[in-house]
Amino acid sequence: MFDRLPSWFPRAALLAALAIWWLNFALTSRWAAVPGSIHGAKQWAFLAALGSATALALTARKAGAVDFRREARLTAGVCGATLLGCFAIWFPPSTWTQIPFLDNWPARFQSTVDGIALLKRVAVAGWHWAFLGGYHASSDLPVTLTVPA
């Protein structure tokens, strides 16, 4: 079925999706006060990403006709810079030397140590007896760092 589609169809589908995104951006400004809105703090990042995607979709050449290594390197560079920028926003360098007191690090450490001890015994689940008669160790999955450790 898909081998009979005209050659212009994928680009038309992409441009239609981008048009819907542009309409979404243009018609949803009344929800700007809602946290996470595309008209809130991330408006400029959203506009940059949407504009870049639209520009690439409009100027893309036919596959197979041209070598796309330059565009691939450019896209990888832009994506890498975006990820680094987001990392710097979420984890500002000024906080890298601070000790995280607002997280559950003692519990994470203890559940990681217990998880490693269980793995040494070829077990993946255990029982913690010390708290109100005990509870299963699999409930510690959200806090444990056993697998990365």
Query: Would the CA dihedral through 82, 87, 90, 91 be positive or negative?
Result: negative
- pTM of the predicted model as reported, rounded to 2 decimal places: 0.45
DSSP for 91-131, written as a single string:
S-GGGTTS---SS-HHHHHHHHHHHHHHHHTT-S--EE-TT
Q: Measured at the alpha carbon of residue 75, what is the angle toward residues 70 and 80, in degrees to the nearest 5? A: 125
- Return the structure tokens found at 52: 């870049």
Note the pLDDT of residue 62: 65
Distance between CA atoms of residues 40 and 97, nearest Å: 30
Enumerate long-range contacts of 39-46, CB under 8 Å, 24 or more apart.
45/82
pLDDT tens-place string over residues 81-102: 989 988 888 888 888 887 766 6
Helix (H, G, I), strand (E, B) or coil at 61: coil
Cβ–Cβ under 8 Å, residues 127 and 134: yes
Question: Could you tell me where the beta strands, DSSP code E, fall in the chain?
Answer: 127-128, 135-136
Please write the tens of the pLDDT for every residue from 42-74: 888 889 889 988 988 888 766 655 666 777 788
Domain ranges across the chain: 2-95, 105-140
Q: What is the mean pLDDT of residues 9-36?
A: 86
Cα separation values, 132 from 60, 105, 127, 128, 143, Å: 63, 22, 12, 9, 19
